[in-house]
Chain A
Amino acid sequence: MYDFAYRKPASVADAVKLLATEPEAKAIAGGQTFIPVLKQRLNKPSSVVDLAGLGLSGISVSGNALTIGAMTTHAAVARSAEVKKAIPGLAMLASWIGDNQVRHRGTIGGSLANNDPSACYPAAVLALGAVVKTNKRAIKADDFFQGMFTTALEADEIITAVEFPLPVETSAYEKFRQPASRYAMVGVFVAKGPAGVRVAVTGAGQNGVFRVPEMEAALAKSWSPDAIAAIKVSPEGLNSDIHGSAVYRAHLITVVARRAVAAAA
């Protein structure tokens, strides 16, 4: 990696100030994507602003929302009794991210801010109609994801928490893993909750996570795997690489979605 200054602010306000004043500064959450990127010299930040120690981790249920602090690790989400009770699909998703080491370092906020098109969390956040809370505002999931590695976040904005509306009647996540990286080649989160019936797909789309309205409509009528078995997703706009063509990914979306519904039933 290239040399950079390491900064550890004491408050969200200080962190934002550092990021706002230094155009080449980058925030680091769990670093499970960013550190490999640095090691490969694919990024040359002037400073790395560490978001640990800002009090941004923790899980709480109050009223009609499950709130997960941005710096909460995947492992903490996976083993949380509150998450398992309120949104079992979310706990399941977190327990499948990366490997044990990654799950103990990687965070929900880091994953969302990076918006890797193969990341798992965006599928849950979109399917559950969550709200991404930042130091400045609350952003609806529908507005947050704006394409591959692109989000609604501004330069001086960091995620502080993610709020999932409750009650979620049912939810599940299934993924077909890219065999080498084990990232989602096709990951589908299905949910029935305050945001309605939603089906969100990660890993497959060139522009990151997306919803499948035909499947949502079918499931709204009849929540069963058979309801979507015949729905074909167009390969248009899907990724194609040495691990799977767009046509194969399109096929997998239906298979994986059906299995997710079966798991949620």
Chain B
Amino acid sequence: MAFEGIGASVKRREDGRFLAGRGHYVDDMNRPGQLYAVIRRSDRPHARLRGIDTAAAMAAPGVVAVYTGADIAADGLGGIPCGWQIHNKDGSPMAEPMHPVLAIGKVRHVGDPIAVVIAETKAQAKDAAELLAIDFEDLPGVADLRAAAAGGAPLVHDDVAGNVCYDWHIGDKDAVDAAFARAKHVAKLDLVNNRLIPNAMEPRAALGECDVAGNYTLSTTSQNPHVIRLLMGAFVLHIPEHKLRVIAPDVGGGFGSKIYHYAEEAIVTWAAGKLRRPVKWTAERSESFMSDAHGRDHVSHAEMAVDESGRFLALRVSTLANMGAYLSTFAPSVPTYLYATLLAGVYKTPAIYAEVKAIFTNTVPVDAYRGAGRPEAAFLLERLVDAVAHDTGIDRIALRRANFIPADAYPYQTPVALQYDSGNHEVTLAEALKTADYAGFPARRAEAARRGKLRGIGISTYLEACGIAPSQVAGALGARAGLYEVANIRVHPTGSVTVFTGTHSHGQGHETTMAQLVADQLGLPLDQIEIVHGDTGQIPFGMGTYGSRSLAVGGSAMVKAMDKIIAKGKRIAAHLMEAAVEDIEFKDGAFRVAGTDKSKALAEISLAAYIPHNYPIEELEPGLEETAFYDPKNFTYPGGCHVCEVEIDPETGVTKVVNFVAVDDVGRVINPMIVEGQVQGGVAQGIGQALLEGAAYDANGQLLSGSFMDYTMPRADNLPNITVGTEITLCTHNPLGSKGCGEVGAIGSPPAVINAVVDALKEYGVRHLDMPATAEKIWSIIQANRPKMAAE
């Protein structure tokens, strides 16, 4: 048998069904008597709802029900809750305006749900939805962050002054001010972190059911079904958890956008209860563009104080963060504890102060998207470090090396709350530079110049915090949820194993990686192990998958549960082999009496546990099933170095990424092939953000990039072959030593790409440009600086 344990590049077990079109997604589910819900959404960015005439829609063929915000309110339902509370500088809580399931009084963004039409067929529901007569009174809207934060902007919520959700800060302002006062150089940079639209391959969908006994089931495209059950059951629909089951079956990508509790989930569940028939809703792609939470959207000013030798003395950052029209589930945490706490990066900057204003606008709510806050921090910092290099003339690599937190300084306490446990930035930097043949770049640049092309190289040395998260820390920072993870391991009588995990796989390959982990620890072949996830009816309360947490937190819970299995197995084995428990050792799937040839396989132990005829029944319960809840002591801190090489066609401004190297320290790797795939995908999204993607709104809030005709997703031919390497320092506080790999690609790559573009354009006097670095943007820069070059 080929090695299938930790470190083996086992092919993904789930891919057979996905590649053969046999995955089982929410929209594949159809129930007898099922009805179809279609949401009528606002096509206005901001308008008062003077009235909704539902009569024609109600009278249309096949229509069973039409509901508006008034019906939701009449049933006493709650608004959509926010799972994170931030406090302002003055200690007061953030503004948390009502987020109605269906609009009440006003619509606040294009895509805001106004009414739901439920009919026998989807076509009938769509036809009827067009018959709803909605009397809008258009109001001025505001989409741009700076405009919304400026005085006199239209108010998204009448009771939220200045559109400010919160005005928060972190760090030691006085220490920073003092350091700036004595600095030799101060490098300043204004940056925009562009707004992204997630675009998971599978659009969101939800199917609500209610049986005769009032037991509800919601099948939904979720990364965390327990969180949805808690939020929707407790806060919106007031259904107790034992009467509500949430299932997240195969889910086709999430990238964060399927973490949140969305209105449609509450609508179909509530309607199924009222109508006593299953109700299904499936988003069309254009709905996804205007209703899935968007990502990023920051505007920042950053300043680094530097001494004469290039040492960073202090960092000062001021950021505006777009919340969109309402607070999505975890939105407030993204620009605060997932962003500003990362501003130390890999550098020993002794003093940091950051202030963040979160702003409401007439746009789709913004929340975590692959990386969530950390890409914004890495982009700001790695651009700023290059700006320091530019301004001081110090080599950008030497500058980084001079400021790295040295490997022997770990554990390292940053000035912005986090304590890093492990890392070695010199090693990942050196490996990446070697792999990318950084030393050979000047020759490649000269060769490109002979072809009329501008070639540039950029690096980023980044660090992120994932493995989210210690519950107490998260709670102290404003989380309204725990962030532990759970595993239940059931060894069946004949020795095969079912693992129930509170994490959820929507593309990550958990069914393989987690099975490898369990196979390795229990000494079983992979085909004896089944991973079950995504069903609150089967699994203990778990927190789901986001923040690269599934292995570091969920896998650690599995290790803890297996420890319990092995401990109990030893006691059973000791009884069966008439030995002392202390003399039993477990190795390669067998319990042995140390120093003898006596042994019992796990299957023999499990059989004895379920058929306890010869069993220590006085001291031990029958059965072999254990649950562990694992709450990590700290975040995990993957980091690494990304090197990007680009070629720009100065005639058109088109940038081609010609080489990309990612060397990441993700801690212990279970399946190298899956890790490489995760990094490749993350880098693809990072290159997408850097060069191609950007949600476009007009000033009023009309969405201009509402389809794939106008929103530029990266395609295969936009991407180079990506070379992925891993260097390992182990996480010191979880039993696996794993850190997480899901987001590193999307965090480390955007600054590497832009640093490369800036490098390519340096002869044109370019010091910074914002993402996406589109062809026209670059061409315009080249045009604007041509005369200067000619003059020189």
Contact = CB atoms under 8 A, between A and B. Distances in A.
Contacts of B130: 41
A248 interface: yes
A242 B775 CA distance: 12
Interface in B283-320: 286
Interface string B630-659: 000000000000000000000110000000
Interface in A246-265: 248, 251-252, 255
A232 interface: no
Contacts of A243: 710, 774, 776
Interface in B709-744: 709-713
B82 interface: no
Interface in B535-553: none
A101 interface: no
Interface stretch (A82-90, A153-161, A175-183, A209-217): A175-183
A46 to B, nearest CB: 16
A248 B710 contact: no
B232 interface: no
Contacts of B696: 242
Nearest to B710: A180
Contact of B713 (A40, A180, A241, A255): A180
B496 interface: no
A248 B780 contact: yes
B123 A180 contact: no
A23 interface: no
A55 interface: no
Interface in A217-261: 241-245, 248, 251-252, 255
A180 B708 contact: yes
Contact of B709 (A176, A181, A245): A181
Contact of A245 (B704, B713, B776): B776
A179 B774 contact: yes
Contact of B779 (A41, A241, A251): A251
Interface string B230-242: 0000000000000
Contacts of A179: 692, 712, 774-775
Given A243-B776, A252-B652, A181 B708 contact: yes
B705 interface: yes
Chain B CB within 10 A, most for which of A179, A244, A255: A179
Interface in B736-792: 774-776, 779-780
Interface residues of A, number: 17
B652 A255 contact: yes
Interface in A1-42: 2-3, 40-41
Nearest to A255: B651
A242 B708 contact: no
Contacts of A2: 127
Contacts of A41: 126, 130
A181 B780 CA distance: 22
Interface string B323-343: 000000000000000000000
Contacts of A252: 652
Given A180-B711, A255-B651, A248 B286 contact: no
Contacts of B780: 248
Contacts of A176: 652
Given A176-B652, A181-B710, A242 B779 contact: no
B642 to A, nearest CB: 23
Contacts of A255: 651-652
Nearest to A248: B776
Contact of A40 (B286, B710, B774, B776): B286
B705 A242 contact: yes
B463 to A, nearest CB: 32
Contact of A242 (B126, B286, B710): B710
A116 to B, nearest CB: 11
B710 A3 contact: no
A2 B130 CA distance: 11
A40 B709 CA distance: 13
Nearest to B692: A179
Nearest to B777: A248
Contacts of B713: 180
A241 B774 CA distance: 13
B779 A248 contact: yes
Contacts of A248: 776, 779-780
Contacts of B710: 180-181, 241-243
Interface string A161-195: 00000000000000010011100000000000000
16 contacts: A179-B774, A180-B708, A180-B709, A180-B710, A180-B712, A180-B713, A242-B696, A242-B705, A242-B710, A243-B774, A243-B776, A244-B775, A245-B776, A248-B776, A248-B779, A248-B780
Given A180-B711, A181-B709, A241-B710, 10 more contacts: A2-B127, A41-B130, A180-B710, A180-B712, A242-B704, A242-B710, A243-B710, A244-B775, A248-B776, A251-B779
The 4 closest A-B pairs by CB, nearest first: A180-B712, A181-B709, A179-B712, A248-B776
